[in-house]
Amino acid sequence: MGVSLQDAAKKFFLIKKPFSLKSDDKNISVFPCRELKITYVIDFDHPLLAKQTYVLRFSGSAFMKEISRARTFGFLKDVETLKSNGFAQGGSLDNAIVLDDFRVLNSDGLRYEDEFVRHKILDLIGDLHLLGMPIIGHFVIHKSGHALNHIFLTQLRKKRKCWKVVRFPDQYACAARQISVPTFAFPQPANV
């Protein structure tokens, strides 16, 4: 096994025109941009989850440092119901944040002051991978989740005027068009 370099040019899903989707008080928009940028706002009816905003300009190092360690979160009152219905079987205070009505129950606290909104960005990045190629655009999101993200991506794919697939043989071709891609989009040369 291992890594095999392929001759095909790398494909990217490039946003050309704005597209938005709204559902009640939740919405997602994407705008043309020369990088993957995510502006995310959460606002839950909980003192620790009240309005949080985070902006991520995506790069491999930013993802690793700012997003990858953000844990999912849930409420103590829902844990037993989830487990009795076959969900959250691997969930624990080691890999999730559990809240009661006023506080975080994890003895080690939060990894980031705004870990909740950072985890929502992590969720979005996972959902974006359903496109099958890296996306280049600026997402502005207010209170979305997996279900709305999926509907948004399904509708966006149908709006062909809003995007195009572009191919770049290497990072130099991207740079020539002033497009910044995540560090994992092209193979990195091995250190000799």
Q: CA-CA distance, 36 to 146, in Å (whole number)?
A: 19
Q: How does DSSP assign 27-62, residue by residue? A: EEEEE--SSEEEEEEE--SSTTTSSEEEEEE--HHH
Tell me the C-alpha distance between 54 and 74, whole Å: 20
Token look-up 């700012």 returns: 66
User: Which helix H or strand E contains 23, and what residues bound it?
Assistant: strand 19-23
Catalytic residue among 119, 129, 138, 146: 146
In the residue annotation, 146 being an active-site residue is answered as yes
How many Cβ atoms sit within 10 Å of the Cβ of residue 25?
8
What's the half-sphere exposure (Cβ side, CA atoms, 13 Å) at 154? Answer: 6
28: which strand partners?
21, 141
Where in the sequence numbering do the catalytic residues fall?
A: 146
